């Protein structure tokens, strides 16, 4: 056998071995699924073995099942459903995650002077939003007043680790304005525990990222153009982040339309009514998605002027409001550091 032939054989074996090893790995894998009534997506930069990817997908699914077991009002046996159904004012034992989310919700309620309130379940019910709601409808003043008498974040306490407590028997929670963000953070922490450094996690549009994307650049996160047309997938712009979270709240997907008026599913706890303003959406950046998710809801309730003034007192948070101007034109209103922090790129 000639030297040339031997080299060709060795090279052939090397190619086969390399191909075999490479086939055991997936480059920049994406894991997708459904949770909390919406979709989720997890992207990991680099090569991940098929075995590790299968295990990671199982861990992600288990983590999300656990978040729902704690905080979904759609599950009768969940911790939140059992808490809502009891009239006891004694300490209610909970998982640490649930207690910590309630505690963070209460802190946000206090700092926003009640613009955020986790005890809105009775109000959501009479408006037809949430798990216990019937048809979407604008309730009467008397019905709103009755429901409003059953809410109030000051009637709730949490030790942040193992229990929560209400001092009013009818008090009931809905954590829909913050639980998705918590779920996003839980998956991000899972990725970090598994040793991944560059990743993107999204649940229903709420996002947390670390590191860089497959091209070696900051992760690009699209901000949706606010429209009630579900087939319109235009972007208003793109933010770029290497660390941190992005969450958006708006009135253009879940709403009641009556007599030509759009009533948002986002309710103002202070009035008991749907938020009516010229704001179409607000996008928030924060160190973690639990905070970003809750703040986005609170800012939408506050509106652009009050909301941006609130943000300017908190250097770890930035925000952008999309506001409806004349003839339906969408205007952008920013906190002072939003464009610098995110390298925001408008689509137009």
Q: Could you tell me which of 293, 301, 267, 225 has the C-alpha nearest to residue 136?
A: 267
| CATH number (domain holding residue 54) | 3.10.520.10
Same domain? For 116 and 248 the reply is no
**68 and 87 fall within a common domain:** no
When divided into structural domains, the chain yields a total of 3
* Cα(41)–Cα(327) distance, integer angstroms: 36
Q: Tokens in use for 139?
A: 């309730």
pTM surpassing 0.85? yes
Alpha-carbon distance of 29 to 212, in angstroms, equals 14
If you ran DSSP here, which 8-state letter would residue 251 be given? S
Query: Phi then psi for 65, rounded to 5 degrees?
Result: -60, -40
Residue 66 shares a structural domain with residue 97: no
CA 128/CA 11 separation, integer angstroms: 68
Last residue of a domain, one of 198, 217, 236: 217
Query: Could you tell me if 208 and 278 lie in one domain?
Result: no
Q: Could you read off the pLDDT tens digit of each residue along the chain, which spans 348 residues?
A: 565 554 554 444 444 444 444 568 999 999 999 999 899 999 999 999 999 999 999 999 999 999 999 999 999 999 999 999 999 999 999 999 999 999 999 999 999 999 999 999 999 999 888 666 566 778 899 999 999 999 999 999 999 999 999 999 999 999 999 999 999 999 999 999 999 999 999 999 999 999 999 999 999 999 999 887 777 889 999 999 999 999 999 876 666 777 667 777 899 999 999 888 889 999 999 999 999 999 999 999 999 999 999 999 999 999 999 999 888 789 999 999 999 999 999 987
* Nearest in space to 107 (alpha carbons), one of 295, 319, 284: 295
The residues, ordered by sequence, that sit 6+ positions from 278 with a Cβ below 8 Å of its Cβ are 304, 323, 324, 325
- How many whole angstroms separate alpha carbon 321 and alpha carbon 13? 59
Residue 14 lies in a domain: no
Nearest in space to 344 (alpha carbons), one of 225, 221, 205: 221
Look up the domain containing 203 and give its range: 25-73+174-217
Beta strands in the chain (DSSP E): 25-27, 30-35, 38-44, 47-49, 92-93, 156-158, 163-166, 199-203, 206-210, 219-224, 235-241, 243-250, 255-258, 261-264, 267-268, 273-274, 279-286, 318-324, 330-334, 345-346
Handedness of CA 266, 268, 273, 277 (dihedral sign): negative
Give CA torsion, residues 267, 269, 272, 277, to 10 deg: -50
Same domain as 208, residue 287: no
């Amino acid at each position: 056998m000639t030297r040339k032939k031997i080299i060709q054989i060795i090279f052939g074996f090397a190619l086969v071995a390399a191909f075999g090893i490479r086939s055991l790995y997936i480059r920049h894998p994406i894991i997708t699924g459904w949770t909390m009534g919406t979709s989720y997506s997890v992207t990991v930069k680099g090569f991940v073995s098929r075995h590790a990817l299968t295990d990671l997908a199982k861990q992600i699914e288990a983590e999300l099942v656990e978040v729902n077991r704690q905080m979904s009002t759609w599950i009768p046996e969940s911790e939140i459903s059992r808490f809502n159904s009891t009239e006891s004012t004694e300490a209610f034992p909970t998982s640490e995650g649930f207690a910590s989310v309630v505690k963070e919700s209460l802190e946000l309620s206090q700092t926003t002077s009640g613009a955020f309130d986790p005890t809105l379940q009775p109000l959501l019910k009479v408006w037809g939003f949430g798990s216990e709601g019937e048809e979407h409808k604008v309730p009467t003043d008397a019905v709103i007043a009755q429901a409003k008498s059953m809410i109030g974040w000051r009637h709730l306490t949490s030790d942040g680790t193992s229990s929560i407590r209400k001092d009013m028997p009818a008090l009931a929670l809905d954590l829909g304005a913050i639980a998705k963000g918590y779920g996003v953070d839980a998956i991000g922490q899972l990725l970090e525990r598994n040793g991944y450094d560059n990743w993107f996690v999204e649940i229903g549009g709420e996002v947390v990222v670390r590191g860089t994307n497959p091209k070696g650049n900051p992760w690009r996160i699209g901000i949706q153009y606010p429209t009630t047309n579900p087939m319109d997938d235009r972007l208003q712009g793109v933010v770029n982040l290497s660390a941190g979270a992005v969450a958006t709240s708006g009135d253009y997907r879940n709403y009641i339309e009556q007599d030509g008026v759009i009533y948002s599913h986002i309710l103002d706890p202070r009035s008991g009514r749907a938020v009516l303003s010229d704001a179409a959406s607000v996008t928030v950046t924060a160190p973690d998605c639990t905070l970003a998710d809750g703040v986005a809801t609170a800012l939408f309730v506050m509106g652009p002027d009050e909301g941006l003034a609130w943000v300017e007192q908190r250097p770890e948070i930035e925000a952008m409001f999309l506001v409806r101007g004349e003839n339906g034109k969408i205007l952008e209103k920013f906190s002072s550091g939003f464009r610098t922090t995110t390298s925001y790129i408008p689509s137009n």
